[in-house]
A and B are shown apart, each in its own frame.
Chain A
Amino acid sequence: MGSAGLPLFDPPQPPLRRGKRKVASGVTDETNGGSSTRPDVKPKPVAQETSPSPLTQEAPQTLTVSALIARVRCALADAFPRRVTVVGEISNFKLHSSGHMYFRLKDADAAIDAAMFRQFAAHVRFTPADGLEVVAEGRVDVYDPRGQLQFYVESMTPRGAGALELAFRQLREKLQGEGLFDPAAKKPLARFPRAVGVITSPTGSAVRDICRTLQRRWPAARVYLMPVLVQGEGAAESVAEGIALLDAHAERFGIDTLIVARGGGSLEDLWAFNEEIVARAIFAAVTPIVTGIGHETDVTIADMAADVRAATPTAAAELAAPDTAEVLRHLASLHARLHRSVVEGLASAASDLRGLLRSAIFRDPAAGLRIRHQRLDELSHRLRADLGHLLSQARRRLDPVGGKLAALHPARLAEVARGRLDRLTARLAWALGARSKRAGDVLAVWRGRLLAVHPAQRLALVRQRLNAAERQLEAMSYRGVLWRGFSVTRKADGAILRSRADAVEGDWITTELADGMIRSRLGEPDGGTTTDHKLDAARQGRREQNHGTG
């Protein structure tokens, strides 16, 4: 590489080889300290003859840029004769449309531009990205147009995790984001498959395991094999195509279940099932898919995209098909239940009928009647008992009322009336004195009659007579008042003088006393007061008199 630039920067120096050796030896001296060990430094003595120390002693020598770069390149080539491995973090990553990758590798203190050409980049399994720490293997060189140090990467692996592991993680994240593993998108498997389509290698252990399992568990299902490449170059494409094809023709063959399988192997062996194209084919399939890839511990991207994931091909077949023995047992139990329920239904109907015929009403119709009679007796007995209780209760409540009622009894009322009559008689006697004797006699007669009749009649009679007696009594009573010293004054026309205003001077008035009349004339009063006194007295008399008559 370095030889291309040498003629340009060193035209005056005749031997091309010598010039190169010179530079080379100088570098060797500085780095190794001794040159004798290296076979390509043999011509050193020759170089020393012409120019013993070109870099140090011929310092003023002027170089073109190209010559400078060429010398640096030579120095680099000597310093790093083979490929070097560098650990660093990727930054400024760019994937050019040509397929080349450009980025920088850096650590805390330094950075170097890096390029990875297409023929190498195509083999990178993971997707390089900024921030990713990688182990890169390649050559160090100078990029002439800019005089920059550049690292030409030929292979690269992520640091820590393996490249496949990282690729796996990256794809899983991507497809998860797209919903390819969404549980809601998963389809249920057929309960009793009619035909199973198997996508696997026709020669591997997987196809044997699956066929044996299906035949053991569910021989009723037909099995179709879609032979595909499960390992190596083009395996992913082959598997994806097989899935798509079989799914597209599933209906024609009556296939309702697909099994995608592969026997155990290394991560690299199983890699086809971690490829995006396979996951997408599984996700796109209309027919439900069970996967059984590798061993128990292997979980591929294809497994995650599948409707049901089984740990192994055998397990996949077990999940895809029910166990015939179990189904036969289920059938037998259904048969038994069917039989039992119908027979039992009939038997219970028959026994219901027999029970009805055997029941008391058919055997002894009168029994019901007897029972009812007895019941009736029982009820009436209870009713009587209840009634007695109720009556005594009512009686208790009535006792105080009875007392009041007794007071209202006609005999009692008559007695009361009689008492009142006695009192009135006494009052009358007092009021009338001798003059009331006749009235008293009348009352006495009534009283005799009263006592002669029945208490009830007596009451009515008493009331009636009492009222009449009272009226008569009242009519006579003012005369009694006159005996007590009051008088009644009448005007000439006989009208009772009731008001002072009716008293006109010079009028004749008649005053009725208990034992006779006084006729007098109203005179002129001596003074206002005297007249007032007189008239006041008169007024007072009138009041008394009114009281008496009213």
Chain B
Amino acid sequence: MEQDKLTFEVALGRLEKIVSEIETGKVSLEQSIERYAEGVTLIKQCRSILETAEKKIQLLAKDQGMGLEVSGELDPLREE
């Protein structure tokens, strides 16, 4: 279930930075082509994160100690 280390927020932040750098001409032409490749990869990663859809809710319950555990799944929308 755990995603890659790269969260959507981090990926998007990096992408926004790349675009603004290239747009404002802060990087050379060669660098901008490198960044372009990186940007396109980031866009793909962001899209793939958005495509994952969680249908179920993880129901939590206290365990014997003071811990928490997933005790089951719940689909509250189906109940209706």
Residues of A within 8 A of B (CB): 190-192, 194, 198, 202, 207-208, 211-212, 215, 219-227, 245-246, 248-249, 252-254, 324, 327-328, 330-331, 334-335, 337-339, 341-342, 345-346, 349
Contact = CB atoms under 8 A, between A and B. Distances in A.
Contact of A334 (B8, B16, B49): B16
Nearest to B20: A337
A215 B49 CA distance: 14
Given A220-B54, A337-B23, A338-B19, A346 B29 contact: yes
B52 A338 contact: no
B8 to A, nearest CB: 4
A516 B79 CA distance: 172
Tell me whether chain A's interface is mostly helix, strand or loop, or mixed: helix
Contacts of A198: 57
A202 B15 CA distance: 39
Given A192-B8, A331-B15, 9 more contacts: A220-B50, A220-B51, A254-B2, A327-B50, A331-B12, A334-B16, A334-B19, A334-B39, A337-B23
B49 A220 contact: yes
A324 B46 CA distance: 11
A208 B36 contact: no
Given A221-B54, A222-B1, A341 B60 contact: no
Contacts of A202: 59, 74
Given A190-B9, A220-B8, A328-B50, A342 B33 contact: yes
A334 B74 contact: no
10 contacts: A198-B57, A202-B59, A215-B53, A220-B54, A224-B70, A249-B68, A331-B15, A335-B43, A337-B19, A341-B23
B67 A192 contact: no
A275 to B, nearest CB: 21
Contacts of B55: 215, 219
Given A202-B59, A227-B59, A341 B19 contact: yes
Interface in B30-68: 32-33, 36, 39-40, 43, 46-47, 49-55, 57-62, 66-68
A543 to B, nearest CB: 106
Given A207-B76, A324-B50, A342-B36, A225 B57 contact: yes
A249 B25 CA distance: 45
Contacts of A245: 62, 66, 68
A345 to B, nearest CB: 6
A338 B9 contact: no
A54 to B, nearest CB: 71
B2 A223 contact: no
A70 to B, nearest CB: 58
Contacts of A194: 3, 7-8
Given A223-B54, A334-B19, A345 B80 contact: no
Nearest to B53: A219
Nearest to B51: A220
B54 A222 contact: yes
A335 to B, nearest CB: 5
B46 A331 contact: yes
A342 B32 contact: yes
B26 to A, nearest CB: 11
| 5 nearest A-B pairs in the assembled complex, by CB-CB distance | A219-B53, A192-B8, A341-B22, A342-B36, A249-B68
B72 to A, nearest CB: 10
A342 B22 contact: yes
Contacts of A248: 66, 68
Contacts of A253: 58, 68
B19 A211 contact: no
Nearest to A209: B76
Contacts of B52: 219-220
Q: Could you say which of B33, B76, B77, B79 has the most chain A C-beta atoms within 10 Å of its C-beta?
A: B76
A192 B54 contact: no
A536 B13 CA distance: 127
A106 B50 CA distance: 68
B51 to A, nearest CB: 8
A179 to B, nearest CB: 28
Contact of A223 (B22, B25, B57): B57
Contact of B58 (A207, A223, A341): A223
A338 B43 CA distance: 10
A338 B58 contact: no
Nearest to A190: B9
Contact of B32 (A246, A249, A345): A345
A346 B47 CA distance: 27
A207 B60 CA distance: 14
Contacts of A328: 47, 50
Contacts of A215: 53-55, 77
Given A194-B3, A245-B62, A342-B22, A220 B46 contact: no
A141 B11 CA distance: 76
B19 A331 contact: no
Nearest to B58: A224
A339 B15 CA distance: 12
Contacts of B66: 245, 248
B54 A331 contact: no
B75 to A, nearest CB: 8
B58 A225 contact: yes
A472 B36 CA distance: 113
Contacts of A338: 15, 18-19, 22, 36, 39-40, 43
A248 B63 CA distance: 14
Nearest to A349: B29
A474 to B, nearest CB: 99
Contacts of A192: 7-9, 12
Contacts of A334: 15-16, 19, 39, 43
